[in-house]
Structure 1
Amino acid sequence: MLKPAAYAFRNDDRSILTLDSIGWQAIVSPEYSFAGDDRPDVGHVIFQYTLSGQGYIEVDQHSFALPPGTGFLAKVPSRHRYYYAGSEQPWEIIWLNLRGHEANRIWDLVTEREGPVIRRGADSPLIAHFWELLRMIAEEKVTDKYRLSGLVYEWMLTLVQSSREVGKEMSASSSSILDKAKKYLKEHYASPLTLDAIAKQTGVNKHYLCRLFQKSERTSPLAYLRDRRVEAALALLRATDLPVHEVGKRCGFDSPSYFGKVFREYMAMTPKDYRAKKLEFPYDAVYYE
């Protein structure tokens, strides 16, 4: 059974993602305070998550409370300070510190999307993945730097995936509308569709439909349709000998010139060139989802 503990790892290998430290503890002293621009241990990134109690973090002169279900991402060095203000209830936390270029990149990606404070349920995949990592270290004595690198990279992928899903939560009825629209676009990409026509098929106005797509897919209905058309064109170019203009027509492009323009935006080459470069692009299908 896991118990509160902390583990540190030290090596000089900067060629891989490395786990610097990981732990679970309950903070009771109001002296607990760390400033990101005044620490001797620099060059790592921090994930810290509240299980119970509450702490705080200041980032660029803005203060954020850290109640249960919230955590923060920070880089050292940077302008931040996290601390426990003292109360009757200890601040119970889990954390991990990582080193490596990829960790810095992922931290930048997630904080750009969510800000320095992230919200995840205690039963979320991200936290469940953390507990499994801690268990493997505590109980299976996993300490090999390469295995740990792979494990923490998997955890980071969970962080990225969950971050992308943060803005996607919507009601069952909204999800049903979105699914209906996506199904319709996948089945009718060859038709000359307009935004009004797509909205009519789903029974909502076009402005609401655009908001749903932006929230869930981070794109517009027409951009989603264009992705499906290009996917279909790539498959036809590879699987048939149809003339290029006929491929474009069958995939919903209203003119050969427009088809060529869009295709070059996606593939940085003409449809004819793509068809000729089977050795460089040996794919039967390409997907943009």
Structure 2
Amino acid sequence: MGSLTIHEVESVVAGSVVYPPGGRFGPRIQNDIQLVMLHSGTVEIMIDDLRLTVRSGHMIKLMPGREETFRFASSEETWHRWVAVHPRDLSEEAFRYFDELPTVLALSEEMNRLTDLILSLQLRLSDDDPLLRSLGFSALQLFPIESSRHTWEKEKHSAVYRAIEWVRVHYAEDIALGDIAKACGVSAEHLIRLFKQHEKRTPIQFLWDHRLDRAISLLIHTGLAITEIADRCGFKSSNHFARLVKQSTGLTASQIRQSSWRGLRASSRERR
């Protein structure tokens, strides 16, 4: 990854802020390699002489030494989070490597989860703690991976990203299609069309697939009773859970657990 190594990461800071309609920030000179995740609203950014308009569901890469000015949406709140990685001495080679990556990419679930972890841990750790430095370095490693994926994967609509993120948090609850659509700010019919276009399945099919993934993970990695797993993952009953597991994997819940505990891993990714 260029010439930057984890040992050259001096500190890592993450944050989250909601700007009111019409909010502004800057101009300021950027001191870090910073990844900004936009979750709602829009932002117009001036980076030196480059003007960018970025909407929710995207992440922005900011480079040290550049002058930045931010203007946020005039008609709604804008929520964004960030991870700022401060290197001790960024070589020309490393700077060029990061600078040549895209400035704006679709925000991924992996980057979201990594940001969640950094935000949580920094409440108890100093900015230069080795664990935080490692996680910040991981974010910089993840960005070019997302960049490569972006070149061949068609960008999803921001409502799809919001729906996926919302389902991953609320999957254990009693959820209807209307709940997901409301959380994403679109109609149920429009959300179905978007999911069929980008995910090749409906939002409800995505929900049940995610529930099944989580439940099978609990089967493999815990000793919880099957009835408890079914309840924790939002299934109507243990029989409902058992039927979907069999349909999806060709194995019963007990067979999956027994196989994994004998070292023969059977996961939800092995569906027929």
TM-score (norm 2): 0.41
TM-score (norm 1): 0.39
Q: Which has the higher contact order (CA 8 A, sep 6+)?
A: 2
